[in-house]
Structure 1
Amino acid sequence: MRPATSAAIHARTWIDGEPVDTDLEPATIRHALEDPSTLCWIDLVAPSPEQLGHLADELGLDPTTVEDALAPHERPKLTEIDGRLFFVVYATDMESRAEDREAGRLQTSRVSGFLLDHGLVTVRLDEDIDIPRIMANADRELAARSSDDIGVLVHVLFDYIVDGHFETIQLIDGDLEDLEDELFAEGGPGPEFSAKAYAVRKDLAKLRRYVVPMREVVLGLIRHEFADRPDPWFQDLMDHVLRASEWTDSLRDVIQNLVETHLQLQDSRLNTVMKKLAAWAAIIAVPTLVTGWFGQNVPFPGEGNAAGLIASIVLVVGLSASVYVVMKRKDWL
């Protein structure tokens, strides 16, 4: 997360679907958002509680939603208070590398938003999401759809967020494929395998907390805004959200199977080692038995002459070879 250096305001207005170059000041935001001839998007970056509170008073926003917009640990959600919708969604990204491998690579950035009659107000705590770029995408979408509906702005924002979810899921999927290759590589996984698997599992668990609730957010938005008229754009967005959610669920099964397989392979390798140790112990027991017998201070056949030495050598070599052949046939060596 890249924190904002200071509070900033990004604003864009459209008249009849055409963007208009304006530089809205805080004092003129309320007028722009209440003007029925315009469509307005106001984006606040790291506003202070006083700044957001002043704007909330101007627009008549509910104090609880204003508090949630600045609270550090809010889950993705969509709420309706006094006929106005408030949402919290998270964009995701994966760092190319992480200093602490066990800490994971997943990075998140939150966007809170208020849907008004003729505008959208978004609040961000950092500058990781390129809202000006999304606003530029809204220019094209409004022109292509010949619409000045607030739903277009929300769709463009949510579409960007969900596309980022897919990119993150694909990267985690790639990490899992790398772990699978390492797990079944000749010689087995390296000593860092467990740490890598833990980091990927941690990233995936964190990602699910932001991807899965998007189903309820988008579904609630569809029910509220388009209950009487199906919107193909949001239906398509809902399909993408469901696919992302199902994909994360499948990846959770993959990482679980990967960890279980790793444990099973460890047990299998341990059993193989134990079998080999037991087989060599049986082979070594033969000369130990024979030489121990011939080393006793009691009379035995061949005592005190070369025949006894030859007999002991024959017994050691013959019996050891026989035990080795038996163990080899049983695949213990």
Structure 2
Amino acid sequence: MNDTQGALFGHGVLAHSRVWRDGVCVDTDVTPDEMLEVAHDPDSLVWLDLLRPSAEALLAIARDLGLPETAVEDALAPHERAKITRHDSHLFFTVYSARMLSDEPVQSGRLEVGRISGIVMPKALVTIRLDDTFDMEPVIARWEDNPSLLKAGSGALVYGLLDYVVDGHFGTIQEIDDEMERLEDVLFEDRPAGQFLQRSIYGLRKDLVLLRRIVLPMREIVNGILRHAPTSNGLDAWYDDLYDHVLRASEWTESLRDMVSSIFETNLSLQDARLNTIMKKLAGWAAIIAIPTAITGWFGQNIPYPGFSEPLGLWLSAGLIVGGVAILYVIFKARDWL
């Protein structure tokens, strides 16, 4: 064992490892001495999963697998976008998982993403995770459930991984869709929603912007793998189905973005309508109040008028007030101003 391999394995960088022959798992604990042998064995399919690797550890395994040092840069670069790049000796991709955090308030944005990068060779797959947000155990279960597919090589491993990621996208999109339906119910309630609805819409828009950044590039990634014959050999039908799922997820995400914009605009329109209704009511009641104000002001004059200083003046002013207010109330109510 050389020093770089000792650093790679000794500090827990290697989180998982598998070796398959004819679709059957023959080793679940690849040692440093076995790594080079199985990685270049045409009858073996090997998978190495690196968790939080340092640049030195990743450079060590890249050299051992005959990969250029440039393979390390994209795997460890911060804020890397979802993409696929083709090299002479390997295929490199970066994808992101997505899930909604149920314990976070709706208004703050609850989307959690996990980054997974992969170095793909005809008979080997190396996955790199910068944290443990993305759980590999369900992916391993998918691989083990379809051993015949693994005979096709590393493309089968990539397919299982991407299929699980896309399924996670669908689940997240469905949760956001359900949340939008709940917001629509709140939107059209009689009582105003206030800041709760506005902050919830903002949180969903924030989640959708982030989700769109990781869902839309999946079309390019699946297309790139399909065009890479050594990787997708014999798996075209599987990748075509995966590509269809990616298209559906992309279209659904775009429609949700339009929907959340519509909810936001509808909320503003409803607020304007409520404000107009309030202004109509205030103006109507102001007109009604103006009648007793005008009449009491008139009868308060210090000049003679019919009923001046007599009981008739009291009844005359009261009758004018009640009659005028009643007439205006009936007119405003008929025109839906009150």
TM-score past 0.5 threshold: yes
Which residue number in structure 2 is paired with residue 43 of structure 1? 49
Q: 1:22 to 1:169 in 2, by over 3 A?
A: closer
Which of residues 267, 277, 286 is equivalent to 2:272?
Answer: 267
Name which of 12, 26, 29 aligns with 2:32.
26
Residue number in structure 2 paired with 1:141: 146
Residue aligned with 1:13, SS: strand
Instruction: State the match for 2:5 in structure 1.
Output: none
Identity rate, percent: 50
What does 1:248-327 correspond to in 2, within 5 Å? 248-327=253-332
Does the 8 Å contact 2:122/2:153 carry over to 1? no
- 1:130, distance to aligned residue in structure 2 (A): 2.5
- Cα deviation, 1:145-164, whole Å, max 9, x if unaligned, reads 47242211110010000000
TM-score, with normalisation over the residues of structure 1? 0.93
Matched, 1:211 2:215: yes
State how 1:157-168 maps to structure 2 within 5 Å: 157-168=161-172
1:128 matched to 2:115: no
Counterparts of 1:147 and 1:26, CA distance in 2: 24
CA contact (8 A) 1:180 1:258 kept: yes
- 1:243 is paired with a residue whose SS is helix
Aligned residue for 2:73, secondary structure, equals helix
Structure 1: segments with no counterpart, 5+ residues = none
Partner of 1:61: 67
Report SS of the residue matched to 1:42.
Answer: strand
Q: Where in structure 1 do 4 or more consecutive aligned residues deviate above 6 Å?
A: 226-230
Partner of 1:43, secondary structure, is: strand
Q: 2:160 aligns with which of 120, 138, 156?
A: 156
- List per-residue Cα deviations over 1:15-41 (Å, max 9, x = no partner): 112110242123432222111110111
Q: CA deviation at 1:279?
A: 0.4
Gaps of 5+ in 2: 1-10
Distance 2:325 2:243 in 1: 71
Q: Quote how far apart the aligned CAs of 1:103 are.
A: 3.0
The answer to whether the Cα contact below 8 Å between 1:62 and 1:81 also exists between their aligned partners in 2 is: no
Q: Which residue of 1 aligns with 2:17?
A: 11
Does structure 1 retain, via aligned residues, the 8 Å contact 2:67–2:89?
A: no
Indicate conservation of the 8 Å contact 2:122/2:155, yes or no: no
Structure 1 CA distance for aligned equivalents of residues 113 and 53 of structure 2: 19
CA contact (8 A) 1:39 1:148 kept: no
Deviation at 1:229, TM superposition (A): 6.8
Q: CA deviation at 1:82?
A: 2.0
Shift of 1:6: 5.4
Structure 2 CA distance for aligned equivalents of residues 317 and 139 of structure 1: 86
User: Of 72, 76, 79, which residue of structure 1 is paired with 2:82?
Assistant: 76
Deviations 1:218-248 (A, max 9, x none): 0111112278877110000000000000000
For residue 146 of structure 2, give the secondary structure of its aligned residue in structure 1.
Answer: helix
Deviates more, 1:62-71 or 1:110-119: 62-71
Q: Any conservation in 2 of the 1:141–1:152 contact (CA below 8 Å)?
A: no
TM-align CA RMSD: 1.9
Q: Determine the C-alpha separation between the residues in 1 that align with 2:152 and 2:310.
A: 112
Match of 2:206 among 187, 195, 202: 202
> Which residue number in structure 1 is paired with residue 3 of structure 2?
none
Q: How far apart are the structure 2 equivalents of 1:228 and 1:86?
A: 17
Deviation at residue 300 of structure 1 after TM alignment: 2.0
Read off the aligned partner of 1:177 and give its amino acid letter: E
Deviations 1:55-113 (A, max 9, x none): 112223233331111122110000012242100001111111215x4431100111100
Structure 2 CA distance for aligned equivalents of residues 230 and 19 of structure 1: 20
TM-score, normalising length from structure 2?
0.92
State the 1:284 CA deviation: 0.3
- The one-letter code of the counterpart of 1:137 is R
Distance 1:228 1:152 in 2: 9
